Chain A
Amino acid sequence: MSMILKVASRNILRQKKRSFLLAGAIAFGMFVITMINALTGGVVENIRVNFSHALGGHIFVSGREYTDHGSVIQRIRNEDQLTALLEENGAVIESVTKRSQALPTLIFGSKQTMHLVYGVDFEEEEKLLESLVVTDGSLANVSRHNSLILPGPIGDRLGVQPGETILVRLETLTGQQNVGEFMVEAFIEDQERFGLSAAYANRDYLNSLIGLGEDEYQSLNMFLTDMDEIDKLGATFRTALGVPAERDQSKFQEISEDEAMETFLSNVRTEDITPWEGTRYRVTTLNQIMEPVEAMVYVLNKVGLIIFVILLVITAVGITNTFRMILVERTKEIGTMRAFGMQQETVKYIFLMEALLLSLAGGVAGVGVTAIVAFVLGKIEFTTLPAMQFFLNQGHITFSISLGSVVLNLVIVLVMSLIAAYWPARAAAKLSPIKALSSHA
């Protein structure tokens, strides 16, 4: 075996330029796929983190009540059940935030626009404040009772500046008209394309305008210590709070359109007619919200894989041709070795070992180059691209290289190279020593 390794290494080093180009082609393919995987992995991770900060958690529990007037309002006021659950699962819960929300009309002079406003406790929302990209104004005074943080485009639409006061027309939970005055503290980068365009106000003040008590809120959001626990803890809360379990996707597909419509109508009827007492909860997780983003990234990774395979096929053709050339060049040498008693299999293994070493060197080099490029790009701060901030971690591109996918890609490269070199190797092994020695190559 060591002899095969020694001869193969010597052969590679004999044609340094050719070996370098061949390994370089493999390295380039490996670089492309590893880079795409690392970039998409990092982007997903950043979007997840930024999403969770903007939404205020990883798991979201909202509560609804049925009022005496027959309407449904979103409110959580009796916390006993939730408090008990939070205590039970305290080990995996890092922090909790409570939010309320409204969809008011924001008015400044003769201009008006509707926009989602979250009522938050800025003291417990450090992560939110860290994730906001301020484009104008400052977050220094957000603890003021009527502070408002506005997405930049909304501020532009209204023609308002930080430090000015705007009117907010909204409805209470029961539909009564109300008006509040908010002081615009800052403009932030808008994330409308992700459905996350929201303004932020102090929860106590927003509560007073929408008819919620000081200690009441509409959703309880949890940050977990480990994001891998999201689905498990979400299921725990659903079970404990009596939230209907999510439907099994396979069962869902089996339901006919008529059945689906009947189920939908029965749900609507139930919600419209059947009153209930107390609070009905709904539990949503970050993973559910992230599904469309992850589907997009999945497609991107698949495109990357296709590019990788195309590059590999081209490289494989190159490897086959190179080894066919090597076969012609070394015919006499092979004949000599065979004449001295080298077995057919050994000749074949030398060829395959050469291919293996070349692809291994190329693959490792590709991963190494990816690591260097990722390190350099990761150091650059992209503050001039506010539109990109949601994909970035504090202005920096993040690369998430998964060991599993690197090993898998490397194995694919090695197998592909062995396959490409197999036929020239077999042809070399089958050479007759007499014919080889008498050849003019």
Chain B
Amino acid sequence: MKQLRYFAVGLLLVLGFSTIVLADDFSHIREVLHRIDEQSRFDDTDLASVLTVITEDPEKGLEKMVVRQFRRDDGERFLLLIQEPSVQKGQGYLLEGDNLWFYDPSSRKFAHTSMKESFQGSDARNADFSQWSYSSSYKIVDYSDGTLGKFEVYIIDLEAVDDTVPYPYVKLWVTKGTNLVLRAEEYSLTKRLMRSALFPNYAKVGSGVIPTQMIFIDELVKGKKTQITISEISTNKLPDHVFTKAYVERVSR
């Protein structure tokens, strides 16, 4: 009986120790995820930039789109205004907290849309134009050390904590020390690779960083990919009325 008690106590100690060790293993990765999210978030400043979206579609060919972006992360707001091509000029996406609206100047109406939706048929999703939230939306399943090109990286396997994010499983390649996501693979619920994202260039903006080049590869449709280049980045204070429907309507005329 006494032996059994010792065995049980020993087992509990081993299990407890293992848990602490495992927790410690993931804790610094959790910290990495927190840093990624923090770096992508601009609470103290507004952000304006120009996005050049080039989509390569095997059926439609090459499509170029120029989009002006305004972001105010404090208050979860952004505005995307399409400048080119001329047939789509004036279309816009306005994020107001939890609500994302799409404005079409031809019908002069706002329609509710979702951050999970594809952006204008490209391989980018509306959520790709907002700050990242890996630490709150995903839990760490596993990680390993590796290299990507010349960079030492963590390769982190993530699983969504609930069904509010579009991709249930994500694998990240994150540089050690600088916590920059260089590559992301996004998987379906059936764990099939759906999209690869590459972030080869970053720019330091204030205390954060912003990828200045994003490449999204559709892993299901052969030959389909989208490249987004971000330029003319500005952190100047934006007027409050920029993030209103009235402004979208006015500038879209």
Are B163 and A178 in contact, CB atoms less than 8 angstroms apart?
Answer: no
Q: With both chains docked as a complex, state the minimum distance between the C-beta of B97 and any C-beta of chain A, in angstroms.
A: 13
Determine how close the nearest CB of chain B comes to the CB of A269; give it in whole angstroms: 13
Indicate if A233 sits at the interface (CB-CB under 8 A): no
For the complex, what is the distance from the CA of A377 to the CA of B166, rounded to whole Å? 56
Nearest opposing residue in chain B for A113, CB measure: B59
Residue from the list A171, A172, A179 in contact with B220, Cβ < 8 A:
A179
The reply on A209 being an interface residue by CB < 8 A is yes
Q: Which B residues touch A167, using CB under 8 A?
A: 220
Asked if B109 CB lies within 8 Å of chain A CBs, one says no
Name the contact of A177 in the complex, choosing from B59, B164, B194, B223 (C-beta under 8 A): B194
Contact A111 B186 (CB under 8 A): no
Are the C-beta atoms of B223 and A179 separated by less than 8 Å?
no
Cβ contacts A104-148/B at 8 Å (1 or 0 each): 000101111000000000000000000000000000000000000
Given A69-B164, A111-B59, A169-B194, CB of A177 within 8 Å of CB of B186: yes
In the complex, the answer to whether A176 meets B167 with C-beta atoms within 8 Å is yes
Nearest CB on B from A105, distance (A): 8
Give the distance to chain B from A172, nearest Cβ to Cβ, in Å: 6
Per-residue B-contact encoding for A161-185, CB less than 8 Å = 1, 0 else: 0000001010110111111100000
With a CB–CB cut-off of 8 A, which chain A residues contact B167?
A: 176-177
- In the bound assembly, the distance between CA atoms of A179 and B192 in angstroms comes to 7
Q: Are A107 and B220 in contact (CB under 8 A)?
A: yes
Q: How far is the CB of A275 from chain B (nearest CB, A)?
A: 15
CB of A211 within 8 Å of the partner chain: yes
B166 A110 Cβ-Cβ under 8 A: no
B112 nearest CB neighbor, chain A only: A272
CB atoms of A175 and B58 under 8 A apart: no
Nearest Cβ on chain A to B197's Cβ, whole angstroms:
13
Contact yes or no, A176 B168, CB < 8 A: yes
Q: Chain B's nearest CB lies how many Å from the CB of A309? A: 45
Q: Mark B150-192, 1 if CB is under 8 A from A, else 0.
A: 0000000000101111111000000000000000001011101
State the Cβ distance, B35 to closest chain A Cβ, in Å.
26
Chain A CB within 10 Å, residue with most, of B58, B168, B220, B223: B220
Q: Tell me whether B221 is interfacial, beta carbon within 8 Å.
A: yes
B45 is an interface residue with CB less than 8 A from chain A: no
Complex Cα distance, B127 from A175, in Å, reads 13
Bound-complex Cα distance A78 to B77 (A)? 40
Contact A110 B190 (CB under 8 A): no
Are B194 and A176 in contact (CB-based, < 8 A)?
Answer: no
Say whether A176 contacts B186, CB under 8 Å: no
A178 engages B189 (CB within 8 Å): yes
Structural contact, B166 and A177, CB atoms closer than 8 A: yes
Q: Which B residues touch A172, using CB under 8 A?
A: 163, 189
Question: Could you say which of A110, A174, A178, A180 contacts B222, with CB atoms under 8 Å apart?
Answer: A110
Query: Counting CB contacts under 8 A, is B49 at the interface?
Result: no
B168 CB contacts on chain A under 8 angstroms: 176-177
B221 touching A179, Cβ below 8 Å: no
5 A-B pairs within 8 Å (CB atoms) are namely A107-B221, A110-B222, A110-B223, A175-B114, A175-B116
- Given contacts A175-B166, A176-B167, list 11 more A-B pairs with CB under 8 A: A109-B222, A110-B59, A111-B58, A112-B221, A167-B220, A169-B220, A171-B116, A174-B164, A175-B163, A176-B188, A177-B166
- Top 5 A-B residue pairs of the complex, sorted by shortest distance between their CB atoms: A110-B58, A174-B163, A179-B188, A178-B189, A110-B222
